[in-house]
Amino acid sequence: MSRLFPRLFHLVIASAVVAVLASPAAPSARAEPAVSPAIGWAQLGLSDSLEVTGNNEPTQVEMPVPQGVSPTVLTGTIGASTRVAGRVDVLDGRGVVLASTPIPLDVPSAPFVVDVAAAEVVAGVATLTFVIRDVDDIGTERCRQPPSVTLSQLATTYSGPTPNPRTVADFLPGYLDRVTISIGETPTREQQQAALVLVAELTRLYRPMPIRVDVSTGAAAPLGDGAGTQRTIAIVEGDRAGLTVDDPDTPAAVLTISGRGEELLRQVDLFTDRRFDLAQSSSATVTSLDRGAPRTTDSLSFADLGVKAETSVLGVTNLFVGFDASAFGSGPIDGATVHVLARYTPVTNADASLLIRSGSSVLASALLDQSGVVDLTADVPASAISSNVPLALEVRYAPRRSCSDVLDRMTFSVDPESRVTVRPADTDRGGFALLPMAFTPEFDVAVDDVEQIGYVAQAINLMAQQSTVALRPNVTTLDSATSSGSGLLVAAPGGDLARRGMPPPLLRTSEDAVDVEGTPVTGIDLNGPLGVVGAYPNNGRMVLAIDTSGGTGLLDQTFDYVRGLEGRWATLTGDVVATGVAGSTVELSVRMDQQTAAPASASTEGRPWWTWVAVALAAAAVLAVAAAIVLVLRRRARG
């Protein structure tokens, strides 16, 4: 009977969760802040799992908070490595308890949601401390392992006000769902260039929040839905160069960017960073501009890459030190050397070690001793290279005493002068894993029909969401792009590319038929169209080709599929992604070996059975997490 009651309790809770999600929200008397989707900690540059060890022992994390928003809720999964009853408290940098979550006993893990809206934010960082409290050890041994809890699948939801814009500075609030850039039916080359540069700049400005930025060629600028989380920007030709908010302080407000030639292009650079916050009136003009040469280098320090890592270890701790290959501006790379410098508490009467990992592969290892210093070099092979290179430091510390005190820990701190040196690729490599690094520092953009510019805008938007550096597109003609050595983003029929010496891996030969390269080469009558995008090398540069001959509906589905992946393009495991007439999207490796195509962080082959069990448990937890978020937000709204 004692076991039956908890099960009935969980059943009742699950039923309540479904009821909460099914019932409509009560109308609010005042506009609530806009709430972002949950953003995984990996996208914030943090490890998405955390080990909390020892009763009343703090584990601290510095969580980034983008400008203009506040953290709202923290979600994830909690599981106990040792069978203990108790809770985990979450505190902010002042030591204020924000929330608590119980440690599950009857199940291996359980979803949790904690309200962190009251967390202190200093210089764009909210310091969170996790502490195990009120532990009731279920074990019977006299010498017991200290309590340990694993927090995984960590993600943060942010919120921020979205008032009707009155000035240039407040036209872009801290959080938006979508920005639409209107360029009209017959845009000039400068309007197209300004729009695509603005797509890249706005996407980067909102990172790590995945804002959608589209380009429209409709006759009139589309208006927002009045919900406050959408904005419209119109880029027009005009004698007066500048930026003006039309219809200010209304849901229909539009930011109009005008000018001619270089003067027009100059205006969009106001959004290079937060300098647009200075434009606190309804209009502004960029009068001069010096972009400087794009930065390219083959070596950057951890400080340059924004990598910080420090921990206190008892047992095993993993520190995320992955980096964005686009930051080097070197284009595609086929390897890297990582030089790790670190200091730690000198080890006596204990066993300690350090592993440098990429996925499941160990790249280098070292024993930690009384020296207290690490100087370790690891080579990252081409098979582990993707645009966001996944690297982790696995630090182990095990005291030799049979009953070690939980306070017997080792502090491990990575020196920010640790370095990553990359090797530019000297052979043609293809595949989506190379995006966006293959398009740095600059790349060409060509469209067969200006109405298709929306697709290249989506491609840039998806790449920029995964890049820490600004992408620099250059609009050109298809004929000029053919002879260029720069990376090429193109929207055109595959047949036109083939005739120009750039045949895609999957070539549509008629309305319903395709030729598929690889081994073997096949011609297939599909009895239906395809929406195809391919990423392949051509004469030493990368081509991202959007085949526009299959109709817009299937291409829209292909882009929606990519947008739904955590790593966007880089999550794809091949060089072709296509949606068929039945609406199913398929990833293919046509010209490349499947093993080379898959980035280490996204590979699904060889995963142990328990990974898929964890995925299933996470899926089952989604409803509960979503319902809890709804409840937290409603309570705050009523308050």
Give me the DSSP letters along 308-320.
--EEEESEEEEEE
Contact 368, 344 (CB under 8 A): yes
What is the CATH class of 293-427?
mainly beta
The pLDDT, as a whole number, for residue 142 is 47
Instruction: Give the separation between CA 313 and CA 323, rounded to whole angstroms.
Output: 23
The pLDDT, as a whole number, for residue 57 is 84
Contact 463, 439 (CB under 8 A): yes
The pLDDT, as a whole number, for residue 136 is 66
The pLDDT, as a whole number, for residue 22 is 38
Q: How far, rounded to the nearest angstrom, does the alpha carbon of residue 420 sit from its chain's CA centroid?
A: 21
Between CA 106 and CA 118, with CA 112 as vertex, the angle to 5 degrees is: 145
The pLDDT, as a whole number, for residue 171 is 92
User: Could you tell me where the DSSP H helices lie in 231-343?
Assistant: 261-267
Instruction: Give the separation between CA 294 and CA 606, rounded to whole angstroms.
Output: 40
Contacts (Cβ under 8 Å, ≥6 apart) of 598: 433, 573, 574, 604, 605
Instruction: Give the separation between CA 231 and CA 222, rounded to whole angstroms.
Output: 9
The neighbouring-strand residues paired with 130 are 59, 90
The pLDDT, as a whole number, for residue 9 is 37
User: Residues 459, 461, 462, 464: is their CA dihedral positive or negative?
Assistant: positive
**Domain(s) of CATH 2.60.120.260: residues in the chain:** 1-161+606-639, 293-427
pTM > 0.95: no
Length of the chain: 639
Where the chain has pLDDT below 50, the residues are 1-31, 138-140, 142, 226, 594-639
**Domain(s) of CATH 3.30.379.10: residues in the chain:** 163-290
CATH number for the segment(s) 163-290: 3.30.379.10
The pLDDT, as a whole number, for residue 515 is 83
The pLDDT, as a whole number, for residue 549 is 87
Report CA-CA distances (Å) from 204 to 113, 198, 534, 555.
28, 10, 24, 24
Which CATH number among 3.40.50.150, 3.40.50.11540, 3.30.930.10, 2.60.120.260 corresponds to the domain 1-161+606-639? 2.60.120.260
For 30, which DSSP code? S
Report CA-CA distances (Å) from 84 to 50, 80, 81, 147, 614.
17, 7, 9, 7, 21
